[in-house]
């Protein structure tokens, strides 16, 4: 733990983790722009450490400029005028990579992209060490992201708290008390394939400022050539569950990326009693627990109809094959459904009628959560 001015901070991302990710980002950029003339534009003040370490790993023929955004009152009726101070490079026909320490709302990047579009660059990409998807409201999502983090305050490795703490070699977050962690809203969103968990998760995420962790998204985000991804795919392609030990290991790593979250929606996890017990143990070690399981109840015929309709849009093979659909539903009934009994035994199960319009189902879920005493 470190003290910066009047606040205490604890390690969020270590120096070694940062360096490993910086090397990974550089490897991707080197591969994507091999043989091209690249101009890196680092946005001050926060990116100076990240830009320095990144450039040490860049093998491309390249240039770098350090710039700052400046706003001033114009003399015309257009009001505020934005400009980049320090940009002296000729960008005509060149590839530009903007280097940022952190992107939250994305407003600054949008302004920079607008300004660079007038400089004749062949293409402009954005590389950010940190990215806050919950806070992002811009139009240019980073092309290269080191770490996606919750919408929480961080300091170190170029980031400051009232201009202090930039010199720290790791990234720190404000130390959170146990009482604050215990108030987290941790929802297990439960239901068979086709129940609409993904749609409702997005709405819960927006209303309650939660992190959405979907086992499906996490597995699909794995390196497809890795042994873990190949193993997980071999089970999923047959409509079977990925083994508990593999799933738990991956999900714990994913949850640990968001230590400052207001809460988490667990979509597709836990799927077995063993996973539910492991989740309880893991959350207890973090000073929190599952708040409630919300179970979407939908008749089997309705589920099959939804999955087939979804396949027409998504192109997912597992949604189109009636045999796989039936196997997924059978697996849910035999293996996953007993998890509801686990949470029912803890008085944490809430069953929601999952038939009706999306808005109607959303309203039922919101009413159930808003009635909770936390």
Positions marked active-site: 197, 271, 310, 316, 328
Strands 144-148 and 171-174: unpaired
Exposure string for 170-189, b = 16+ CB within 10 A, e = fewer: bbbbbeeeeeebeebbbbbb
Q: What is d(CA 257, CA 239) in angstroms, rounded to the nearest whole number?
A: 28
Are 103 and 151 a contacting pair, CB within 8 Å? no
Are 116 and 40 a contacting pair, CB within 8 Å? no
CA atoms within 13 A on the CB side of 18: 23
Are 31 and 197 a contacting pair, CB within 8 Å? no
Structural tokens at position 148:
């996606």
Q: DSSP 3-state assignment of 179?
A: helix
**Could you tell me how many helices (H) and strands (E) the chain has, helices first?**
14, 15
Q: What is the DSSP string of 157-178?
A: TTB-BTTB-TT-SSEEEEPPPH
In the sheet where 349-353 sits, what is the strand order? 211-214, 263-267, 185-190, 292-297, 349-353
Q: Where are the beta strands (DSSP E) in the chain?
A: 2-4, 7-13, 38-43, 62-73, 80-85, 95-103, 123-131, 144-148, 154-155, 171-174, 185-190, 211-214, 263-267, 292-297, 349-353
Exposure string for 54-93, b = 16+ CB within 10 A, e = fewer: bbeebebebebbbbeeeeeeeeeeeeeeeebeebebebee
């Amino acid at each position: 733990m470190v003290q910066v001015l009047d606040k205490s901070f604890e390690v969020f991302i270590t120096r070694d983790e940062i360096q490993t990710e910086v090397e990974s980002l550089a490897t991707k950029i080197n591969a994507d722009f091999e043989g091209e003339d690249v101009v890196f534009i680092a946005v001050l003040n926060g990116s100076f450490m990240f830009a320095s370490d990144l450039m040490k790993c860049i093998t491309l023929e390249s240039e770098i400029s350090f710039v700052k955004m400046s706003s001033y009152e114009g003399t015309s009726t257009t009001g505020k005028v934005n400009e980049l101070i320090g940009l002296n490079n000729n960008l005509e026909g060149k590839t530009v990579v903007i280097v940022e320490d952190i992107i939250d709302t994305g407003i600054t990047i949008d302004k920079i992209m607008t300004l660079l579009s007038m400089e004749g660059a062949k293409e402009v990409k954005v590389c950010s060490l940190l990215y806050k998807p919950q806070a992002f409201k811009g139009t240019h999502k980073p092309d290269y992201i080191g770490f996606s983090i919750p919408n929480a305050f961080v300091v170190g490795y170029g980031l400051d708290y009232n201009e202090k703490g930039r010199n720290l070699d790791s990234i720190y977050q404000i130390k959170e008390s146990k009482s604050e962690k215990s108030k987290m809203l941790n929802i297990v969103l439960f239901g068979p394939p086709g129940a609409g968990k993904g749609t409702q998760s997005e709405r819960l995420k927006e209303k309650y400022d939660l992190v959405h962790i979907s086992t499906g998204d996490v597995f699909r985000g794995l390196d497809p050539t890795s042994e873990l991804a190949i193993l997980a795919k071999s089970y999923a392609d047959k409509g079977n569950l990925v083994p508990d030990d593999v799933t738990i290991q991956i999900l714990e790593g994913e949850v640990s990326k968001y230590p400052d979250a207001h809460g988490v929606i667990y979509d597709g996890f836990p799927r077995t009693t063993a996973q539910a017990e492991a989740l309880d143990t893991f959350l207890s070690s973090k000073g929190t627990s599952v708040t409630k399981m919300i179970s979407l109840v939908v008749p089997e015929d309705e589920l099959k109809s939804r999955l087939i309709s979804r396949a027409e849009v998504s192109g997912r093979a597992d949604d189109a094959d009636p045999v796989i659909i039936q196997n997924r539903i059978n697996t849910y009934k035999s293996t996953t459904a007993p998890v509801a009994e686990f949470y029912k035994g803890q008085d944490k199960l809430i069953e929601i009628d999952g038939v009706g319009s999306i808005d109607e189902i959303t309203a039922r879920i919101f009413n159930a959560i808003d009635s909770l005493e936390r």
